[in-house]
């Protein structure tokens, strides 16, 4: 029938259009705080604990962020990832509590408080230690409150009312208790050792507090005259060393050679202008480095006099270049495995006070380890020639003094990577200092830690080799710092022998006092209160050094995992950035293995760092620094959460404005999927539910995909790998649901009779999809899924976060059907591709105006179509299937062979209800402008106005 009937009928009331209150626009920045308030009022976290009371426990132990400053994007990624994992485990049959924590002691806070005092004209040393510590405590508390608010805004669910902090009195008492275990076992000792030292902050730094930046250094070649040797030809020669730290020359006590390196005795024959060496001088260098050294020393012609193996040089002794000026000691040549021919001269200047390898050599051969530099970076008064000079400024003076003794043979500057303080950004030095150590060998700590590493699941697996290499080679653990804000090293030592007082009763009094008064008790109290009547205070020195903050955080397992009723020891998972192999993961490993014999965790996951959109370090000054607060305020926390799971977070990840906009687009598509489900489930009742065996193939295929996804998401949860988890759900939503299943089934959902098999099957599947998609997405899109859940079930419904992932029957799996539908979907792609061409050429508008001819010359593909309504699947008014190759002008896709399509116009009239073009339109006299299917439907009960 034509469209010019005297009156057109309005069929809108007969169509089952989607009905939902869920708005298309999310408005997340405005709505999310309302959900946070609702969860707070309903005590959602406690409800989760009550619901999981009898389930297996999953404990993710929160690595404590530092209580200083607003959270940055790295914090946000870390906390969101933890939250996603905890929520996923909670929804898969576990009790998964989350107790957040904060690291409160240490230099950054002390630095800020000291800065405030300086602004008032006060020096930190003038302030009472207890008062200073009180200010530090208040500073940390302020930032804990601020960060807590910021973390909660990200949708992080946890025990925010009762977090752990390393400055809580109970925590400080447990940290002291853990320290005293090492003291009582004999593993704690005071020694002298070169440590990374910041002259600016006047304290030792842990490796994790060190950053490496490019630094311009002076490199010098220095000649040491040989004064004793078994080799006569060397008696008048000089050994040349190369160093990039001229300030360590006053501390030189030996020279190292490589026993297997080839060395040459060389005579300088011709020199260019500016040479500092004298013509005819003989010297020793590694043969492989002779050419490079000669160039640095401006030697144009030289001759090799003799060749030696490194081992031949044993029993050779040099004098210090400043002999006769206060440096009268011998400088022996010693073998060293650390010597290479990568750079320099093949001889390594050895200053045991200022280098790890140097110190080891000194210990091995009984070489003096002098105290040369004070905590402020100035040479001690007993140091000849350089007393009182600062190591940062003494370089030129050192060179001048060497030149005066004709010992400076080369000098230039070069840029290299050099350690700097993470706080002051100033370059560091290695400095020999009295420090407190935990031995890696006493009681077999290294062996226990290495064995413990093998017990742990490392994700990604490369983390295992990384931390194993670090533990294998690490020196004893330096646990002391010369600071004011932290847990003190609460031991008494004999001032003469250095022996530690080992007395359980004394230790018990110390722990009790700290538990009652905090660590201030150690500074404010009279030592007698701890020593009791059994020990004379005059015989013992109360140590006032502060514990390394890594010992604090490394002990959290003892006062969080062991003490909190809702948690368990060991933790199921530790999760932090990849830098924590040398930080929290390692300090926790060493602390627990030293006191309990095994690691405090069963699995360790590391994520990468956050970089800008170009893969560079984020920089506010460069305009690439995005704060989580800015993203949340503009787009909502769910967008930021979506970004986290969309990245391969095992590697470094990128973030930028355009990347976030991409997440907004992905979110919109997911929201539209959920909105479609809601709209088409309006009024769904159990009586509509159709048994699976009565469903069409298309629905059974969707069930198969749900079964596959159910297995995938559970597997990825077990692997803590939410990128493929999310990508699978996202692709399912936009490709298999929105672009395929929903597209095909819109006609049945909108236009079929209310109780038709197709419509009931589709609504049953939509219901099953709704429960699964909202549950699977709930750990990620915490606000949106709650909104969707309540949009369907009402505001009084239990939270979606209290649900479990629905069980999915194995009977839904149908690999044969899946294989068949792979073929069908490929054929459909060819048809839709041909339709797109027709649309582009404006030969059709809607696909329902088309009646494609489908040519197939493959029996397997032809068999796949048997019994299917291909017009329904391709959303056309009809499809004619023809066996054969088809004409040359037919549309084809290279990756779908044996299939061709010619698109023709559909014949007949357009149904005014379903828009199908059909010869049937007009066959029903009572409804002359609609097709037969629609005519029957509008007359059926429950269809609306017929």
4 CB burial (10 A radius; 0-12, 13-18, 19+): exposed
Report which DSSP code applies to 132: H
Q: Which residues pair with 137 in a beta bridge?
A: none
**Residues 165-190: b if buried by 16+ CB within 10 A, e if exposed:** bbbbeebbbbbbbbbbbbbebebbbb
Q: Which residues pair with 89 in a beta bridge?
A: none
Break the chain down into helix, strand, coil percent, rounded to 5: 45, 20, 40
Q: Where are the alpha helices (DSSP H) in 752-852?
A: 757-777, 782-793, 815-840
3-state secondary structure 317-376: EEECCCCCCCCCCEEEEEECCCCCCCCCCCEEEECCCCCHHHHHHHHHHCCCCCCCECCC
Continuous segment of H or E residues that includes residue 36: helix 28-41
Q: Is 456 helix (H, G, I), strand (E, B) or coil?
A: coil
Judge whether 620 is annotated as a binding position: yes
Cβ contact 195:431 at 8 Å: yes
Work out the widest C-alpha separation in the chain, in whole angstroms: 125
**Residues 299-314: b if buried by 16+ CB within 10 A, e if exposed:** beebeeeeebebebbe
Continuous segment of H or E residues that includes residue 290: helix 290-296
- Alpha-carbon distance of 705 to 818, in angstroms, equals 8
- Alpha-carbon distance of 196 to 202, in angstroms, equals 11
Cβ contact 311:266 at 8 Å: no
Q: How far does CA 609 lie from the centroid of its chain?
A: 6
Judge whether 934 is annotated as a binding position: yes
Cβ contact 775:804 at 8 Å: yes
- Alpha-carbon distance of 685 to 442, in angstroms, equals 70
- Alpha-carbon distance of 640 to 647, in angstroms, equals 11
Cβ neighbours for 840, distance < 8 A, ≥ 6 positions apart: none
Judge whether 787 is annotated as a binding position: no
Cβ contact 546:480 at 8 Å: yes
DSSP per position, 472-528: HH---EE-EE--SSS-B---EE-TTT-PBP--HHHHHHHHHHHHHH-THHHHHS-HH
Cβ contact 344:241 at 8 Å: yes
Q: Where are the alpha helices (DSSP H) in 518-653?
A: 520-524, 527-531, 549-554, 556, 584-596, 628-634, 637-646
Judge whether 576 is annotated as a binding position: yes
**Residues 596-620: b if buried by 16+ CB within 10 A, e if exposed:** bebbbbebbbbbbebbbeeeeebee
DSSP per position, 260-287: T-EEEEEEEEEE-TT--SPTT-EEEEEG
**Angle of the 757-777 helix axis to the 657-680 helix axis, nearest 10:** 140
Report which DSSP code applies to 736: I
Radius of gyration of the chain from Cα atoms?
38
- Alpha-carbon distance of 700 to 704, in angstroms, equals 6
Cβ contact 471:450 at 8 Å: yes
* Known binding-site positions for L-isoleucyl-5'-AMP: 576
* Known binding-site positions for Zn(2+): 911, 914, 931, 934
* Known binding-site positions for ATP: 620
* Known binding-site positions: 576, 620, 911, 914, 931, 934
């Amino acid at each position: 029938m034509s469209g010019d009937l005297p009156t057109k009928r309005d069929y809108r009331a007969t169509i089952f259009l989607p009905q939902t209150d869920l708005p298309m626009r999310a408005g997340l920045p405005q709505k999310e705080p309302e959900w946070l308030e609702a969860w707070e009022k309903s005590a959602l976290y406690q409800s989760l604990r009550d619901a999981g009371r009898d389930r297996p426990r999953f404990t993710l132990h929160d690595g404590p962020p530092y209580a200083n400053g607003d959270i940055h994007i790295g914090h946000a990624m870390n906390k969101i990832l933890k939250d996603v994992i905890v929520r996923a485990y909670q929804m898969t049959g576990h009790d998964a509590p989350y107790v957040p924590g904060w690291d409160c002691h240490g230099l950054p806070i002390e630095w800020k408080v000291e800065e405030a005092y300086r602004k008032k004209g006060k020096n930190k040393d003038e302030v009472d230690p207890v008062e200073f510590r009180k200010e530090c405590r208040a500073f940390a508390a302020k930032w804990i409150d601020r960060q807590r608010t910021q973390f909660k805004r990200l949708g992080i669910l946890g025990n925010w009312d009762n977090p752990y902090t390393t400055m809580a009195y109970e925590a400080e008492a447990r940290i002291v208790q853990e320290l005293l275990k090492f003291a009582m076992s004999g593993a704690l000792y005071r020694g002298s050792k070169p440590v990374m030292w910041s002259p600016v902050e006047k304290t030792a730094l842990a490796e994790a507090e060190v950053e490496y930046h490019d630094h311009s250094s002076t490199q010098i070649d220095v000649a040491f005259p040989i004064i004793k040797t078994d080799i006569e030809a060397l008696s008048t020669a000089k050994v040349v060393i190369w160093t990039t730290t001229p300030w360590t020359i006053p501390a030189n006590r030996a020279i190292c050679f490589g026993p297997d390196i080839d060395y040459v005795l060389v005579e300088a024959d011709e020199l260019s202008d500016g040479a500092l060496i004298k013509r005819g001088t003989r010297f020793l260098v590694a043969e492989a480095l002779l050419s490079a050294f000669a160039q640095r020393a401006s030697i144009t012609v030289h001759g090799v006099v003799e060749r030696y193996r490194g081992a031949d040089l044993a029993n050779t002794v040099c004098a210090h270049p400043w002999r006769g000026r206060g440096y009268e000691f011998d400088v022996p040549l010693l073998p060293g495995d650390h010597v290479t021919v990568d750079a320099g001269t093949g001889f390594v200047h050895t200053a045991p006070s200022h280098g790890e390898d140097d110190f080891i050599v000194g210990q091995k051969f009984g070489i003096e380890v002098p105290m040369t530099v004070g905590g402020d970076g100035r040479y001690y008064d007993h140091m000849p020639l350089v007393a009182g000079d600062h190591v940062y400024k003494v370089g030129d003076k050192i060179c001048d003094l060497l030149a005066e003794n004709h010992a400076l043979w080369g000098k230039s500057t070069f840029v290299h990577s050099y350690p700097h303080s993470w706080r002051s950004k100033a370059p560091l030095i290695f400095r020999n200092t009295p420090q407190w150590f935990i031995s890696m060998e006493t009681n077999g700590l290294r062996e226990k830690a290495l064995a413990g590493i093998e017990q742990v699941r490392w994700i990604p697996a490369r983390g295992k080799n990384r931390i194993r290499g670090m533990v294998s080679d690490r020196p004893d653990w330096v646990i002391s710092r010369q600071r004011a804000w932290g847990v003190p090293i609460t031991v008494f030592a004999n001032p003469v022998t250095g022996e530690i007082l080992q007395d359980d009763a004394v230790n018990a009094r110390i722990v009790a006092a700290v538990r009652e008064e905090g660590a201030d008790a150690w500074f404010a109290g009279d030592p007698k209160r701890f020593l009791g009547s059994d020990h004379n205070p005059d015989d013992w020195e109360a140590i006032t050094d502060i514990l390394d903050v890594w010992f604090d955080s490394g002990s959290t397992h003892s006062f969080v995992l062991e003490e909190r009723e809702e948690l368990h020891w060991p933790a199921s998972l530790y999760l932090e950035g990849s830098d924590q192999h040398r930080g929290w993961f390692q300090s926790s490993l060493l602390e627990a293995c030293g006191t309990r014999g095994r690691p405090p965790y069963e699995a360790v996951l590391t994520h990468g760092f956050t970089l800008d959109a170009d893969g560079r370090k984020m920089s506010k000054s460069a305009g690439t620094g995005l704060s989580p607060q800015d993203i949340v305020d503009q787009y909502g926390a769910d967008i930021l959460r979506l970004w986290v799971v969309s990245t391969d977070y095992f590697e470094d990840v990128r973030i930028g404005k355009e990347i976030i906009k991409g997440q907004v687009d992905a979110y919109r598509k997911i929201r539209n999927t959920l909105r479609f489900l809601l709209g088409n489930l309006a009024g769904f009742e159990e009586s509509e539910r159709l048994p699976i065996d009565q469903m069409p193939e298309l629905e059974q295929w969707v069930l198969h995909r749900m079964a596959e996804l159910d297995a995938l998401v559970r597997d990825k949860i077990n692997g803590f790998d939410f990128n493929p988890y999310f990508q699978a759900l996202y692709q399912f939503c936009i490709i298999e649901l929105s672009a395929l299943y929903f597209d095909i089934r819109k006609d049945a959902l909108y236009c079929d009779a209310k109780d038709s098999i197709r419509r009931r099957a589709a609504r049953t599947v939509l219901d099953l999809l709704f429960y699964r998609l909202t549950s699977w997405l709930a750990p990620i899109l915490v606000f949106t899924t709650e909104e969707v859940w309540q949009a369907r079930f009402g505001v009084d419904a239990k939270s979606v976060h209290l649900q479990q992932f629905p069980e999915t029957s194995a009977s839904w799996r149908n690999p044969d059907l899946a294989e068949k539908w792979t073929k069908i979907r490929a054929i459909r792609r060819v048809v839709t591709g041909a339709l797109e061409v027709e649309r582009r050429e404006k030969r059709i508008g809607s696909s329902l105006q088309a009646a494609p001819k489908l040519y197939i010359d493959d029996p397997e593909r032809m068999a796949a179509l048997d019994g299917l309504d291909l017009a329904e699947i391709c959303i056309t008014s009809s499809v004619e299937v023809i066996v054969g190759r088809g004409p040359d002008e037919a549309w084809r896709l290279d990756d779908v062979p044996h299939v061709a399509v010619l698109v023709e116009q559909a014949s007949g009239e357009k149904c005014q209800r379903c828009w199908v073009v059909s010869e049937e339109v007009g066959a029903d006299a009572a409804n002359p402008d609609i097709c037969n299917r629609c005519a029957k439907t509008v007359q059926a009960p429950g269809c609306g106005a017929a």
